[in-house]
Amino acid sequence: MLCLLSKTLCNSGVPTKKLLLRILLTTAAISIVSCSFPTSFSFPKHIEPALKQQFDENTETNITSLTQPLIFYREHQWLSSNSRDYVYLGPIRISRAGQHDYLLWLGIWSTIDRLWLPYESVRENFQTVYLVTDGEPMELEVKAWSGTELGIKNTVYSTPVKSALNAFYIVSQEQIRELANAENIFVYLSANAPSSYGYKLWKEGSQSFAEFADSEPDE
């Protein structure tokens, strides 16, 4: 760079002292500009909060849930590689007048078009579910098939399809903690179902689940 500047300025007929001064000033200016711009940078990553809260003014109820539910799946490769049944699972805490109730929401849907399977049959299948945590079954009985039956007007969790079945199960805070601390969780529709019939965890979210379990309920 200095050689190029020197050669250029020498050919211009500028006196030697002025030539050297111009070279030094030009070099300093280039250095300042170079230092002003970093060679690389990255935007700060947006970290989505694990929990979200909703407040129903009509019932003065605080509803706490995960930002994203856990996702379980069961494959049917004999149909096609993309044939899967899904169960989305998320905890809910309802705080009203100092009382705190806990629920598990299940969002049930499938990529398989089962025209032969009535909607009521799907409900019957999920009337009782078994969450197997580290080999220990947790039996749950459905409480409601919609949030409105429980006084929940707003949508707490969602699924990719509108036709998904929503199911709500009453649980205790201790059961929430058990799910949060489990290394392995499977969803079964029968206590005696073979392992191949279980829904496997696909999208990990145990850290968010643990944050929910450890969070303090609103008064």
56 shares a domain with 99: yes
Residue with the bigger pLDDT between 36 and 74: it is 74
154 shares a domain with 121: yes
Find the largest Cα–Cα distance for the chain. 98
> Residue 192: inside a domain, yes or no?
yes
> Residue 44: inside a domain, yes or no?
no
Domain that holds residue 131: 51-214
Residue 216 has pLDDT above 90, yes or no: no
Residue with the bigger pLDDT between 44 and 215: it is 215
Binning pLDDT at 50, 70 and 90, where does residue 10 land?
very low
Give 84's contacts (C-beta < 8 A, 6+ positions apart).
Answer: 73, 74, 75, 76, 110, 111, 112
> Residue 197: inside a domain, yes or no?
yes
> Residue 42: inside a domain, yes or no?
no
Residue 147 has pLDDT above 70, yes or no: yes
Give 92's contacts (C-beta < 8 A, 6+ positions apart).
Answer: 63, 64, 65, 102, 103, 104, 105, 152, 156, 168
79 shares a domain with 25: no
Structure confidence at residue 40 (pLDDT): 44
76 shares a domain with 24: no
Structure confidence at residue 4 (pLDDT): 45
CB atoms within 10 A of CB 199: 24
129 shares a domain with 105: yes
93 shares a domain with 16: no
12 shares a domain with 55: no
How do residues 60-98 score in pLDDT, each as one tens digit? 889 999 999 999 999 875 556 677 899 999 999 999 888
106 shares a domain with 24: no
Residue 195 has pLDDT above 90, yes or no: no
> Residue 219: inside a domain, yes or no?
no
The total domain count for the chain is 2
The DSSP code sequence of the chain is: -HHHHHHHHHTTT--HHHHHHHHHHHHHHHHHHHHHS-S---PPPP---SEEEEEETTTTEEEEEESS-EEEEEE-TTT-TT-EEEEEEEEEEEEETTEEEEEEEEEEEESS--TTS-HHHHHHHTSEEEEEETTEEEEEEEEESSGGGGT--S-----SSTTPEEEEEEE-HHHHHHHHH-S-EEEESSTT--GGGSEEEEE--HHHHHHHHHSPPP-
Q: What span, in angstroms and rounded, lies between the C-alpha atoms of 80 and 216?
A: 45
187 shares a domain with 93: yes
In total, the chain counts a number of residues equal to 219
85 shares a domain with 112: yes
123 shares a domain with 31: no
56 shares a domain with 115: yes
> Residue 26: inside a domain, yes or no?
yes
Structure confidence at residue 33 (pLDDT): 41
Residue 116 has pLDDT above 60, yes or no: no
> Residue 114: inside a domain, yes or no?
yes
> Residue 45: inside a domain, yes or no?
no
pTM of the predicted protein model = 0.74
